[in-house]
Structure 1
Amino acid sequence: MPPTKVNLTSGHLLRALFSLATPMLVQAFLQNLQNMIDLYFVGKLGSPAVAAVSASGNILFVLTPVLMGASMGTIALVSRFTGEGNHRLAAQTAGQSVPIAIIFGIIIGIIGQFFAPDFFRWMSIPDDVTALGLPYLRILLFTSFTMFVLFLGNAAMQGAGDAWTPMKIMALANVLNAVLDPLLIYGIGPFPTMGVNGAAWATAISQAVAAVTSLHLLVSGKVHLNIRFRDWLPDPHLCWRITRIGVPSSGQMLLRSLMNATLYSIVAPFGTSVLAGYSVGTRINMMILMPAFAFGNAAAAMVGQNLGAQKPDRAVKAAWLAVGVEAIIMVVASLLLVFFAPQFIAFFASEDPEAIRIGAEYFRIEAPFYICSALSIILSRALGGAGASVAPFVINAFTLWGVQVPAAVFLSQRYGTIGIWSAMAGTQVIHAIIVGWWFNLGRWKHKKV
């Protein structure tokens, strides 16, 4: 078993990178698996139940930008203070993530209770699905503060160089969720039969147990961040420092989510089969990019700690090493998708030849440029780890909304779907060039957090 805490400011860079990125990748997989566990167990309740859980999952995905932004602020500060050797301030920062998580969770919970019906109506969800999905969504929104506490507690550990403990905590949540789902959904033994609502409570309880476990470890000092109870009391100055870094990161993820919805509206007029092929392609695309975000988060922690330790050159090497490793992964993925795209698409859309053709067309144009995505994602996360999160936000806004969306609209009118995929591929190249250029300027090395 590898050590829980990795020395990021000295020693072998590649070993440190994989010691962080590997558990982060497993953790990301486990987070995505939670919703799949619910889907599996509600499957026996019929198609409306499955659709209700799926639709609610899409709505809950909107929380991702807020979670990612807050976690980036926590990682940036905890890693910087850890690198400086200021473990007391690192612990105080980790402690401040708790009130931030609770406040954001309560706000979102309250908003969700009032607007949950509107979410389903905006998505044109059928009434029978809404009837099942509405209480399921309200339960998860009401208890969302536990998800925030879990997410930010894990981010604090990662900033301190410990990515294995958060992975184990997520594994605990998944195992507990898998045990509780059948008990609460079907009413096994002394448990009540709750149907779809049982899946929501199983998820909420498992997240709450995992969040309490995370807090216990942080307070006990077993994860190199010995938080004291007074560190949980809101410190406006420290909370503002976390938020100042986190808000641009949240904005960056939100812009990307909105852009994805906009691209769906551009693709939709070409027909159901085209939309199905594109939808399957984007699902596979998200899976392919999971390692990039894992290596990006690892690079963020390494950059933050090495800047704190006054080792900016090592921070630069760590970021580019992560890009190099991920580039190899992306080349392999690109080759597989270019040559075997129909087989991958057919796994999800085996009954629709046109969807398979469109999905294959999408990957043959898009996949060769995955290496550009690897560069832009990892260097953007590295900049966030340095506390320089405004530049990635501005670059993201310009490339997605100033280049990709207008180009997709224009080229779709001239060349159809090939024009849309070409606009997406070209934007990846432009994004990578700009991010790489800004990173090499090196202004982030002097960023004060």
Structure 2
Amino acid sequence: MIDVTNGNLTKPLLKLAIPFIMAMLVETVMNLTNMFFVSRLGSEAIAAVAFCGTLLMLTATIIEGMSSAVLAIVSRRVGEGDRNGANEVTIHTIIICIVTSLVISIAGYYAAAPLMRVLGATPSVFQFGIHYTQISFLGIFSMFFLFTIQAIMRGAGEPIYPVAILASSALLNIIFDPLLIFGIGPFPKLGVSGAAIATVLARTLASSAGLFILFKGKTYIKPTFTNLKLKNDIFINIIRIAFPAMGRMSLTSISRIALMKIVSIFGTSAIAAYGISLRFDMVAFLPGLGFAAATSTVVGQNLGAKKPERAEKVTKIALYCNFIVAGFLAAVFLLFAGEIVSVFDKSTEVLSMGKMYIYIVAPTYLFMSARLVFNGSLRGAGDTFSSMIISLISLFVIQIPIAYILANYTPLSMNGVWISLASVNIFEAIMLGYWFQKGNWKTIIF
């Protein structure tokens, strides 16, 4: 466990952030590899996986909320030196994961077919996707445990095990995918269903290893079911912090759907350009997400140790570090805009739109990095409600109206959508920075 409550803050911040960034890179490679193998089965198979991803979006918001809550509470208990309290939170989180994943598995399995039809799946896509979706829902427990276990460990200041767990899941998935999709060697040829089984199997093995590490006390955390006493206040604290984080994720998902609706009026090239822009964001987000996750841990532990000044200081250090990385990425994107876009699509129209996205949005990457760090700091303090409210305003008062008005009622067309994305980066960074400076987050008790 890294000590973040005493001494220099920069070194432990980097020790926590860099492994997380590496883990997210591995996860990104796994997702791309998974899609590559599925794409060998045809466009219907790709569409089937996309439908499943849409249906699993709600589950992802629940897991994000759970992870935010458990990281905040565990890091606070670790900072307080309350190891037993951290263990209790872990046990209660595991119980919530079991119950929640069981409910979602059953509901998702039986609702998969009608939901796919409601979303407009064609008969061929439905045939590919129904089993993939049902298998994914039956194995949803593996997704819950994989990410909540990492959050518990990160909250305890453990940098290596979370990376090892996520990386092992990704690597196992890459190995299992071709074996189960194409039926290599003694393995059956399962097609798209094989991709779902590969993901569930890989996550199950990795999360099982994570549970073993926790219960064996390989980290600061060593939970036990012996003499277990369920405490309502722990359940309430987890839910109280988790729900706003879930709400924020849901708002982001809804806003993306709304933006896609606006973009779609400009045709296939515009949709392609928007899809490419999301890939740019994914790359630009990775360092920011790493520093945000590290900041959450350090803030939570220092608030638990009654050292709010260190919590504030580490946020500022994370901002400076993230500014350097974001500035570098922005410069690279701006200098090689055409070359980068052409990697994904060489058509003239998409190339033009993609380049304009970079020219308009990349200069705001510094603001984007700031909002990620501020969000991480507030999340570590357990102040997920404020982040949700600011997201609500920025997405539905700033982003969607600006995109709709500029795209439909000015000559800017698609550039209006890019301007709306840039506006959100600036607005959220300013609002979150203002709220952070007020310091109310330092006084939240749980």
Which residue of 1 is the match for residue 442 of structure 2? Answer: 445
State how 1:130-145 maps to structure 2 within 5 Å: 130-145=126-141
State how 1:151-300 maps to structure 2 within 5 Å: 151-230=147-226, 234-300=230-296
Which one of the candidate residues 347, 350, 353 is aligned to 1:355? Answer: 350
Please tell me the root mean square deviation across aligned C-alpha atoms, in Å: 1.7
Equivalent-residue separation in structure 2 for 1:286 and 1:43 (angstroms): 21
> For residue 106 of structure 2, what is the amino acid of its counterpart?
I
User: Contact 1:69 / 1:250 at 8 angstroms: preserved in 2?
Assistant: yes
User: Contact 2:17 / 2:294 at 8 angstroms: preserved in 1?
Assistant: yes
Equivalent-residue separation in structure 1 for 2:423 and 2:77 (angstroms): 39
Asked whether 1:408 is paired with 2:403, we answer: yes
User: What CA deviation, in whole Å up to 9, does each residue of 1:133-156 have, x standing for no partner?
Assistant: 110111011110121012111100
Equivalent-residue separation in structure 2 for 1:420 and 1:36 (angstroms): 26
Structure 1 residue 12, shift from structure 2 partner: 1.9
Asked whether 1:435 is paired with 2:432, we answer: yes
> For residue 121 of structure 1, what is the amino acid of its counterpart?
R
Structure 1 residue 393, shift from structure 2 partner: 0.6
Deviates further, 28-37 or 434-443: 28-37
Which residue of 1 is the match for residue 42 of structure 2? Answer: 46
Which residue of 2 is the match for residue 100 of structure 1? Answer: 96
Could you say if the C-alpha distance between residues 403 and 368 of structure 1 is closer, same or farther in structure 2, counting changes exceeding 3 Å?
same
Which residue of 2 is the match for residue 74 of structure 1? Answer: 70
Structure 1 residue 186, shift from structure 2 partner: 2.7
User: What CA deviation, in whole Å up to 9, does each residue of 1:384-411 have, x standing for no partner?
Assistant: 1101111111111011111211121112
SS of alignment partner, residue 40 of structure 2: helix
Asked whether 1:422 is paired with 2:419, we answer: yes
Could you say if the C-alpha distance between residues 386 and 262 of structure 1 is closer, same or farther in structure 2, counting changes exceeding 3 Å?
same
Structure 1 residue 311, shift from structure 2 partner: 0.8
User: Contact 2:341 / 2:351 at 8 angstroms: preserved in 1?
Assistant: yes
Deviates further, 201-210 or 25-34: 25-34
Equivalent-residue separation in structure 2 for 1:122 and 1:135 (angstroms): 17
> For residue 324 of structure 1, what is the amino acid of its counterpart?
Y
User: Contact 1:219 / 1:229 at 8 angstroms: preserved in 2?
Assistant: no
Asked whether 1:320 is paired with 2:342, we answer: no
SS of alignment partner, residue 311 of structure 2: helix
User: Contact 2:180 / 2:195 at 8 angstroms: preserved in 1?
Assistant: yes
Equivalent-residue separation in structure 1 for 2:118 and 2:330 (angstroms): 36
TM-score (norm 1): 0.94
Structure 1 residue 269, shift from structure 2 partner: 0.6
Structure 1 residue 13, shift from structure 2 partner: 1.0
Structure 1 residue 111, shift from structure 2 partner: 2.4
User: What CA deviation, in whole Å up to 9, does each residue of 1:345-381 have, x standing for no partner?
Assistant: 111112x210110011111111101111111111112
Equivalent-residue separation in structure 2 for 1:323 and 1:388 (angstroms): 19
SS of alignment partner, residue 265 of structure 2: helix
> For residue 363 of structure 2, what is the amino acid of its counterpart?
P
State how 1:331-342 maps to structure 2 within 5 Å: 331-342=327-338
Equivalent-residue separation in structure 1 for 2:50 and 2:405 (angstroms): 33
> For residue 246 of structure 1, what is the amino acid of its counterpart?
A
Equivalent-residue separation in structure 1 for 2:103 and 2:360 (angstroms): 42
User: Contact 1:97 / 1:153 at 8 angstroms: preserved in 2?
Assistant: no
Structure 1 residue 233, shift from structure 2 partner: 6.7
TM-score (norm 2): 0.95
SS of alignment partner, residue 135 of structure 2: helix
Equivalent-residue separation in structure 1 for 2:329 and 2:185 (angstroms): 46
How many residues are treated as equivalent by the alignment? 444
Structure 1 residue 195, shift from structure 2 partner: 1.9
> For residue 440 of structure 1, what is the amino acid of its counterpart?
Q
Structure 1 residue 423, shift from structure 2 partner: 2.3
Equivalent-residue separation in structure 1 for 2:229 and 2:267 (angstroms): 54
SS of alignment partner, residue 9 of structure 1: coil
User: Contact 2:299 / 2:380 at 8 angstroms: preserved in 1?
Assistant: yes
Unaligned runs of 5+ in 1: none
Could you say if the C-alpha distance between residues 42 and 174 of structure 1 is closer, same or farther in structure 2, counting changes exceeding 3 Å?
same
Could you say if the C-alpha distance between residues 287 and 230 of structure 1 is closer, same or farther in structure 2, counting changes exceeding 3 Å?
farther
